[in-house]
C-alpha cells in the first residue's frame, strides 16, 4: 500500500503530519503501508521552480494513493499563472485522471451547535457532494486575456463538458446514491448554459440504468439556497467542477467548520487523491491551531476506497467521533465547555482513541 504524501503549503504540513501519525499507528499494527513524501504547490515551486515537479507527479503516479494537504500562499499570488501553487493541484488531478471528487458533509451530533445554522436544521445531516473534477470551466480551452476589437482587454474561459465526461461522473453518483439513501440531485444551470443542457440530458439518460435511484434536477442558484434552507432534503448531489467547488464550501459550513470535511478524488479504478476540502489558510499557518480532522478523515477515505479496508476506515472515523465526544476541539470548532487543543494534541488524541 504505497502512499505518496504531499503536504504542500501553509497549514498543509501540520495537518498532514497528524494524518500520517494515524497511518503510522496502523502500520505498527501490521497494515503494510509505505509512505513517501514530495513537494507540491508553493513548496514545489520553491524546491524546483514548478508547482508540480516532475518527480512529484512520478511518485504520485506510481503510488496506490496520494495524501495531500493544501496549496497556496500570498507570496506566490503574483507569479505567472503556470507557476502558481493552484496549478500544481489542478495538474496533479488531471494527470492522475481523478475525475470523481467525493465530498461528504456530515454533521456530528457533538458539533451541531457549531454550525452557522440552527441545530434543528442541520442535526443528522449526511450529504455527499459528487463533484466532477477534471473538466468544466477549470480546464476548457481556449482561455486567456486578450485585446478585443475596441482595444480593451477581456478575460475569457470556456465551460465545456463532453458526453463521456458527464456519463462517467453520473455513473459514480448513481452508484453512490444506490448505496446510500437512493436519492440523487443533479445540479446545473440548464436554464442558461448549453453545457448544462447537455449535462441534464446525459444524466437523465444514465438514470434509466438506475431505476431504483430517484433522480431530481435543480438549478445551482436554487441549490445554493436550498442547502441553507433545508439541507436534509439532499442525499447525493452531483454537479460539475465549478458549481461543486462553490457548493461544497457552502455545505462545509452546515457541519460547523470547513476543517471537518474530507474528500476523495477517484479515477476509474481504485487510485485516489485524498485531501481536505479546505485551503492552506496562510493566516494560521505555523501556529499549531489548524484542525487536522478533515485530513485524518481523508486518510480514512483512502483506507476505504483505495485499499478496501472498510473496517479500519470505520475505526479511524470512530476515533474521530470519540475525541469529539470527549469534548476536544480545535479553535475552529471550539465552544464554551469544550477543551481547546492544538493541531498536534488533536492528532495524538485520535491515535489514542484508535
Ligand atoms: C478545492 C480548491 C481548489 C479548487 C483550488 C485551490 C484550486 O478550492 O479543492 O475546492 O478550486 O478546486
Ligand atoms: Mg474549493
Model confidence pLDDT, tens digit, residues 21-50? 999 999 999 999 999 999 999 999 999 999
- Span 47-93, pLDDT tens digits: 999 999 999 999 999 999 999 999 999 999 999 999 999 999 999 99
Which pLDDT band, with edges at 50, 70 and 90, does 257 fall under? confident
Task: Determine whether the shortest distance from the Cβ of 92 to ligand 1 is under 6 A.
Answer: no
Residue pointed to by grid coordinates 513517501: 36
Under DSSP, the state recorded for 323 is H
Residues comprising the chain, all counted? 354
> Cα(123) to centroid of ligand 2, in Å?
24
Specify the fold of 107-256. Isopropylmalate Dehydrogenase (3.40.718)
> Cα(278) to centroid of ligand 2, in Å?
7
Which pLDDT band, with edges at 50, 70 and 90, does 298 fall under? very high
Closest to 349 measured CA to CA, from 331, 317, 322: 322
Could you tell me which CATH number the domain at 1-99+267-354 has? 3.40.718.10
- Three-state SS letters, 163-195: HHHHHHHHHHHHHHHHHCCCEEEEEECCCCCHH
d(CA 334, CA 345): 14
The residue to mutate among 9, 245, 253, having the most atoms of ligand 1 within 8 angstroms of its beta carbon, is 245
Spell out the residues 6+ positions from residue 48 whose beta carbon is closer than 8 angstroms to its own.
Answer: 39, 54, 55
Task: Determine whether the shortest distance from the Cβ of 332 to ligand 1 is under 6 A.
Answer: no
d(CA 190, CA 188): 6
Long-range contacts formed by 192-199: CB under 8 A, 24+ apart:
193/159, 195/136, 195/159, 195/160, 195/161, 195/240, 196/240, 198/161, 198/163, 198/166, 199/161, 199/166, 199/240
Edge-to-edge order in the sheet of strand 214-219:
34-37, 2-8, 65-70, 272-274, 264-266, 100-106, 126-132, 236-239, 183-188, 214-219
- Residue 286 has phi, psi (to 5 degrees) of 80, 0
For 32-55, b/e burial (b = at least 16 CB within 10 A) is ebeeeebbbbbbbbeeeebbbbee
Q: Where are the alpha helices (DSSP H) in the chain?
A: 12-28, 42-48, 54-62, 85-96, 119-122, 163-179, 194-207, 220-229, 241-254, 293-305, 310-325, 343-353
d(CA 340, CA 319): 18
Task: Determine whether the shortest distance from the Cβ of 277 to ligand 1 is under 6 A.
Answer: yes
- Our answer to whether residue 245 is catalytic in this structure is yes
Task: Determine whether the shortest distance from the Cβ of 86 to ligand 1 is under 6 A.
Answer: yes
> Cα(86) to centroid of ligand 2, in Å?
11
Distance in Å from the first CA to the final CA of the chain = 20
pLDDT at 245 over 90: yes
Mean pLDDT of 236-256: 94
Where in the chain is CATH 3.40.718.10?
1-99+267-354, 107-256
Q: What is the grid cell recorded at 84?
A: 502558481
> Cα(150) to centroid of ligand 2, in Å?
35
Task: Determine whether the shortest distance from the Cβ of 89 to ligand 1 is under 6 A.
Answer: yes
Q: Where are the alpha helices (DSSP H) in 29-96?
A: 42-48, 54-62, 85-96
Characterise 100 by phi-psi region: left (phi > 0), alpha (psi -120 to 50), beta (else).
beta
- Our answer to whether residue 348 is catalytic in this structure is no
Which pLDDT band, with edges at 50, 70 and 90, does 352 fall under? very high
Which member of 138, 161, 210, 305 is catalytic?
A: 138
Atom of ligand 1 nearest to the CA of 241: 12
> Reduced to 3 states, what is the DSSP secondary structure of residue 274?
strand
**pLDDT of 131:** 98
pLDDT at 110 over 90: no
- Residue 123 has phi, psi (to 5 degrees) of -65, 135
pLDDT at 115 over 90: no
Amino acid at each position: 500500500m504505497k502512499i505518496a504524501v504531499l503536504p504542500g503549503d501553509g497549514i498543509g504540513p501540520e495537518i498532514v503530519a497528524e494524518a500520517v501519525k494515524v497511518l503510522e499507528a496502523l502500520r505498527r499494527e501490521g497494515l503494510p503501508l509505505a509512505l513517501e513524501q514530495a513537494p507540491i504547490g508553493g513548496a514545489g515551486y520553491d524546491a524546483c521552480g514548478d508547482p508540480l515537479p516532475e518527480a512529484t507527479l512520478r511518485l504520485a503516479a506510481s503510488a496506490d494513493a496520494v495524501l495531500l494537504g493544501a496549496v497556496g500562499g500570498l507570496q506566490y499570488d503574483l507569479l505567472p499563472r503556470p507557476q502558481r501553487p493552484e496549478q500544481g493541484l489542478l495538474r496533479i488531478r488531471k494527470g492522475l485522471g481523478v475525475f470523481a471528487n467525493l465530498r461528504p458533509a456530515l454533521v456530528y451530533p457533538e458539533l451541531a451547535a457549531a454550525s452557522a445554522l440552527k441545530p434543528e436544521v442541520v442535526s443528522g445531516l449526511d450529504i455527499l457532494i459528487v463533484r466532477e473534477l477534471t473538466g468544466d470551466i477549470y480546464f476548457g480551452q481556449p482561455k486567456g486575456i486578450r485585446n478585443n476589437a475596441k482595444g480593451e482587454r477581456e478575460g475569457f474561459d470556456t465551460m465545456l463538458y463532453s458526453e463521456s465526461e458527464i456519463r462517467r461522473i453520473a455513473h459514480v453518483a448513481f452508484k453512490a446514491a444506490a448505496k446510500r439513501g437512493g436519492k440523487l440531485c443533479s445540479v446545473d444551470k440548464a436554464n442558461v448554459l448549453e453545457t448544462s443542457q447537455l449535462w441534464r440530458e446525459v444524466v437523465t439518460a444514465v438514470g434509466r440504468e438506475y431505476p431504483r435511484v430517484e433522480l431530481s434536477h435543480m438549478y445551482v442558484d436554487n441549490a445554493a439556497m436550498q442547502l441553507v434552507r433545508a439541507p436534509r432534503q439532499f442525499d447525493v448531489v452531483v454537479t460539475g467542477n465549478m458549481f461543486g467547488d462553490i457548493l461544497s464550501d457552502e455545505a462545509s459550513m452546515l457541519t460547523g467548520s470547513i476543517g471537518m470535511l474530507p474528500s476523495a478524488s477517484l479515477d476509474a479504478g481504485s487510485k485516489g487523491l485524498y485531501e481536505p476540502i479546505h485551503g492552506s489558510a496562510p493566516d494560521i499557518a505555523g501556529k499549531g491551531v489548524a484542525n487536522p480532522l478533515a485530513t485524518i478523515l481523508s486518510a480514512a477515505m483512502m483506507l476505504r476506497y483505495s485499499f478496501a479496508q472498510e473496517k479500519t476506515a470505520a475505526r479511524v472515523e470512530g476515533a474521530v467521533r470519540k475525541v469529539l465526544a470527549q469534548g476536544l476541539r480545535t479553535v475552529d470548532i471550539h465552544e464554551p465547555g469544550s477543551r481547546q487543543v492544538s493541531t498536534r494534541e488533536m492528532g495524538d488524541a485520535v491515535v489514542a482513541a484508535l
